[in-house]
Amino acid sequence: MNGPQLSELPDDSEQLQPYVVSLRRGALQASELSAVRTLSDGFLLKFLRARDFDVDLSLKLLLNYQRWRQESPEISGCLSPLSVLGLLSTSYHGVLPQRDHTGSRVLVYRIGQWNPKDWSAFQVFSISLMTSEIISMEAQTQRRGLKAIFDLQGWSLGHAWQINPSLARKISSVLSDSFPLKVRGIHLVNEPMFFRPVFAMIRPFLPEKIKQRIHMHGVDYHDTLGDFFSSAILPPEYGGEGPGIEEVCQDWTNQLLRKETLLQQIATHPTADIAITAEDSLISGEETEG
């Protein structure tokens, strides 16, 4: 049975146990986790599914995840939706209620809603991490990954000054090989010319696979976005027939606020391996496109 087929099996399948045991053994022998006594099956399965049950790649991903959390506590230790509620309330970020035709989660970021005088790039990035931690608990997202739409209307020099090479490197490392999620596509819309120097700073840190999944749609995105996403799931603002973007963002803000305690537990735990309930791992009201 190959990796994608293994990914379809439920967490408690006996066929997954040899992979879980092997990953646990490798992880507990590594210096990054030398102080840890055990790691739960559910936690290890996130990394195995994110790398299609290749144990070596899953171990590398798990250790990278632990490493960046230790090296960037200013980001990993601040997973509080309440602390950035003002920004969330501007409809800056949302997750579409329906998955796309491949089963991927679809995230939307509206850069113009971020006022860089009020919110630092670290705080903005923490919102991405909160969402990533929550959706990475979903088995379907572990299997099918995510796609992101970045609406760059309103991008200004004030935004650009916030992105320095150090932060660019951290964002890129989490995007590429330090988080248990498959990034299936990154779509930029309304990108102005002076966004390109910032993108040029981030691009070298990205692996080739991610570079090939970046699509720049410009201002005429209504037609081209439809080549990747069905109109049934996209908000009307992006040429679709789904719920409006304001409603999408408000609903997701509510989802994050409901997970405040859970996110704080993840932020303060040495490995982020916390026991989650069935309710924690589900996003309420999730719909799936047929």
Percentage, residues of the chain above pLDDT 70: 95
pLDDT of residue 290: 37
Give the whole-angstrom CA distance, residue 224 versus residue 231.
11
Question: Residue by residue, what is the 3-state secondary structure of 217-242?
Answer: CCCCHHHHHCCCCCCCCCCHHHCCCC
Give the whole-angstrom CA distance, residue 6 versus residue 12.
12
Q: Which pLDDT tens digit goes with each residue over 59-91?
A: 999 999 999 888 888 888 889 999 999 999 999
Token look-up 């080549």 returns: 227
Angstrom CA distances, 154 to 108, 210, 284, stand at 15, 25, 32
Q: Which pLDDT tens digit goes with each residue over 117-170?
A: 999 888 898 999 999 999 999 999 999 999 999 999 988 878 878 877 777 777
| The pair of three-digit structure tokens given for residue 174, joined into one six-digit string | 């989490």
pLDDT of residue 285: 52
Query: Going from the N-terminus, what domains does the chain have, and what CATH number goes with each?
Result: 3-71 (1.10.8.20), 77-267 (3.40.525.10)
Phi, psi at 188, each rounded to 5°? -105, 130
Task: State the number of CA atoms in the 13 A half-sphere of 29 facing the CB.
Answer: 8
pLDDT of residue 168: 74
Report pTM. 0.90
CB atoms within 10 A of CB 21: 13
**Burial class for 158, CB neighbours closer than 10 Å (0-12, 13-18, 19+):** exposed
pLDDT of residue 162: 80
pLDDT of residue 280: 62
Give the whole-angstrom CA distance, residue 56 versus residue 26.
9
